[in-house]
Amino acid sequence: MSSVVSEPAILHQVAIGLGERSYPILIGSGLLGAPACWRDLPAAPAAMIVSNSTVAPLYLQRLAGALQGRFRKVHHVVLPDGEAHKDWATLNAVFDALLAHACDRKTVLFALGGGVVGDMTGFAAACYMRGVPFVQVPTTLLAQVDSSVGGKTAINHPLGKNMIGAFHQPVRVVCDLDTLATLPARELSAGLAEVIKYGPIADMGFLDWIEEHLAALLARETGALAEAVRRSCEIKAAVVGQDERESGLRAILNFGHTFGHAIEAGLGYGEWLHGEAVGCGMVMAMQLSRGLGLVDDALVQRVTRLVRAAGLPVQGPRLGADRYLELMRVDKKAEGGDIRFVVIESPGRAGVRPAPEPLVREVLERCTA
Ligand code: NAD
Ligand code: GLY
């Protein structure tokens, strides 16, 4: 895959159907600089691109150049990079920039970066003047297959991940696969965790496809990446279309996340990547599903092998079962302090249920080192 600017080509378009909040997800090459991607956005005098100190030097100019013909003013704000900065202080820097430029309530925000930038920009858009439109321009695999779609926005609290946030749908998602050329290998693997997730929860045929195309994905072949992003977005769009605000079904998208969020919070945000924690969390959730008698060992081993082959950890850090349990009680799926886990009910179908504490402790004992 080349990092040079390619001829613009929209390879796939996925629709997310949410009534008047519906929007398209554009997937392709050369999209950042393609005027076609930026037409038909809400009319506004100004745009504000939110990015970070790693992504801005790579892609800000290209996006700003393309938006110049569309908005009279194109402002930007560059945030510090990292999960550790997904907090109030950094969010406030976005509000400072919007107010310093006297941005009005029509201003369109553009989230140019990974999931951290996307979640924070979305939350800023939900709050600024009680809500302004925003566009997701995800530049990590994880953000393209998951976080940019569905309207969950948030910042972290020291006591729990993504605890302060809002539902606020973007008006468009533009996934330029070319940006993945500069992604560090560790981040590519982290993104693959969220791709793999869609197999056991929704589509075993997709799990077969991922296994067959893992080498192509790790080699960043555009066709394979395009297909992985397309199918992931399609599955996510179908789930979010049925349960936008997670009153039920949408929770299945958090497969592996109950354990994963505990790893992230327990080690301190940024120590393990979100995708790494989710990859390992999925292995734990598979073991839990087997312990509950829902799936056989062959499926547990299959998912574990794939997670490992994607370059992700399959053993969690030894935080101690008590600490894991304490952290998991803060999970948003918990009810009255009772932890609820996303489990695989049968291959390709997930559900949410509590699990006996001795079984959870056994899984934590087996899956941490
Ligand atoms: P990230 O945003 O921290 O990006 C990973 C790293 O890659 C960062 O250092 C970033 O600066 C860098 N980067 C981004 N694009 C790059 C590029 N093209 N080239 C080189 N470097 C690049 O992490 P992430 O994995 O994208 O997202 C994780 C975040 O997403 C977590 O905070 C997680 O909670 C959130 N998330 C949200 C949802 C949701 O539904 N809203 C879903 C999943 C994850
Ligand atoms: N990533 C989980 C969700 O969007 O619901």
Nearest ligand 2 atom to the CA of 246 is 5
**Per-residue pLDDT reduced to its tens digit, 105-137:** 999 999 999 999 999 999 999 999 999 999 999
* Ligand 2 neighbour 194 (Cβ under 6 A): no
Give the list of residues 6+ apart from residue 171 with CB closer than 8 angstroms, or none. 23, 41, 42, 108, 133, 134, 135
The C-alpha angle with vertex 193 and arms to 188 and 198, in degrees rounded to 5, equals 125
Nearest ligand 2 atom to the CA of 253 is 2
CA of 147 relative to ligand 2 center, distance in Å: 7
**Percentage with pLDDT > 70 across the chain:** 98
Quick one: pLDDT band at residue 23, thresholds 50, 70, 90?
very high
Q: Quick one: which of 111, 44, 105 has its CA closest to 77?
A: 111
Quick one: pLDDT band at residue 333, thresholds 50, 70, 90?
confident
pLDDT at 2: 45
**Per-residue pLDDT reduced to its tens digit, 132-171:** 999 999 999 999 999 999 999 999 988 778 899 999 999 9
Tell me if 227 sits within 8 A of 233, measured CB to CB.
Answer: no
Buried b (16+ CB within 10 A) or exposed e, 77-88: bbbebebebbbe
**Per-residue pLDDT reduced to its tens digit, 235-271:** 999 999 999 999 999 999 999 999 999 999 899 888 9
Cα–Cα distance, 41 to 361 (Å, whole number): 50
Cα–Cα distance, 93 to 63 (Å, whole number): 21
Give the list of residues 6+ apart from residue 121 with CB closer than 8 angstroms, or none. 50, 94, 109, 110, 111, 134, 136, 153
Provide the token pair at 25: 């997800």
Average pLDDT, the chain: 95
* Ligand 1 neighbour 254 (Cβ under 6 A): no
Determine which residue's CA is closest to atom 21 belonging to ligand 1.
Answer: 183
pLDDT at 190: 98
Is pLDDT at 180 greater than 90 in this prediction? Answer: yes
Cα–Cα distance, 247 to 280 (Å, whole number): 26
CA of 152 relative to ligand 2 center, distance in Å: 7
**Percentage with pLDDT > 90 across the chain:** 91
The C-alpha angle with vertex 339 and arms to 301 and 327, in degrees rounded to 5, equals 90
Is pLDDT at 334 greater than 90 in this prediction? Answer: no
CA of 293 relative to ligand 1 center, distance in Å: 35
* Ligand 1 neighbour 144 (Cβ under 6 A): no
Please name the CATH architecture into which domain 185-367 falls: Up-down Bundle (1.20)
pLDDT at 5: 60
Provide the token pair at 166: 């809002």
* Ligand 2 neighbour 161 (Cβ under 6 A): no
CA of 168 relative to ligand 2 center, distance in Å: 13
**Per-residue pLDDT reduced to its tens digit, 314-329:** 999 999 999 999 999 9
Please name the CATH architecture into which domain 9-182 falls: 3-Layer(aba) Sandwich (3.40)
| Mean pLDDT (whole number) for 5-26 | 92
| Mean pLDDT (whole number) for 184-210 | 98
Domain chopping of the chain, boundaries: 9-182, 185-367
Cα–Cα distance, 248 to 233 (Å, whole number): 19
Gyration radius from the chain CA atoms: 20
pLDDT at 345: 98
Nearest ligand 1 atom to the CA of 83 is 3
pLDDT at 6: 67
Is pLDDT at 1 greater than 60 in this prediction? Answer: no
List residues with catalytic annotation.
130, 152, 194, 236, 246, 250, 254, 257, 261, 274
Give the start-end residues of each E strand in the chain. 9-16, 23-29, 46-52, 73-79, 108-113, 134-138, 152-157, 160-167, 172-176, 341-346, 349-353
